[in-house]
Chain A
Amino acid sequence: NAGVTQTPKFRVLKTGQSMTLLCAQDMNHEYMYWYRQDPGMGLRLIHYSVGEGTTAKGEVPDGYNVSRLKKQNFLLGLESAAPSQTSVYFCASSRTGGRKTQYFGPGTRLLVL
């Protein structure tokens, strides 16, 4: 099992450009999450999904959109990138019930110039 994978690993954008980050998991998890990690800020939840076709806002959703068309994939979109969105983005997934353990991907480093 690959677990949680993220594409791309690193990207540089210019202000105003758009892009989509892809997260894929092969553990048949119902729940998926997108976080951003900034120095001194910990992990902040952007959006999450409790199942295929459903999404919800997290703590810092502004400037981002998400889609969960397939159970195994969770996409994070930036419609018009801003320098404030320079960050490391992590995707995570978890199953229903159990220990609520979230399994994280390796991250995508995004630099917006």
Chain B
Amino acid sequence: QQQVKQSPQSLIVQKGGISIINCAYENTAFDYFPWYQQFPGKGPALLIAIRPDVSEKKEGRFTISFNKSAKQFSLHIMDSQPGDSATYFCAAYSGGSNYKLTFGKGTLLTVNP
């Protein structure tokens, strides 16, 4: 049972364009939604996170949009750069889960120069 569905599986964007990755969840108990970034040969690292009491969070070129009623959230990368090429994972956490995160299956982003 996949509790966090992520799309697309892969994404190719031109330098300077906007990259958008979407996630949807089912469990209404989730109360923390992080995004992790993974470069080839490395472990995932926290990129940005949001709580469901806000609709948007922005850090530099990275923005999370959150729609609680639709149970969806998305990552927007503005002015995408070749250095942003990586795999991105959305995740969700609920307080009663012993600090376990439920991850989406990941999106491989390629930004062409």
Contact = CB atoms under 8 A, between A and B. Distances in A.
Interface residues of A, number: 26
B30 to A, nearest CB: 11
A100 B99 contact: yes
Contacts of B42: 106-107
A48 interface: yes
A38 B89 CA distance: 13
Contacts of B46: 101-103
Interface string A91-113: 01010100111111111000000
B111 to A, nearest CB: 21
Nearest to B98: A50
Interface of A: 4, 31, 33, 40-45, 48, 50, 56, 58, 90, 92, 94, 96, 99-107
B104 A94 contact: no
B49 to A, nearest CB: 7
Contact of A100 (B6, B89, B93, B104): B93
B101 interface: yes
A73 B103 CA distance: 24
B44 interface: yes
A94 B105 CA distance: 21
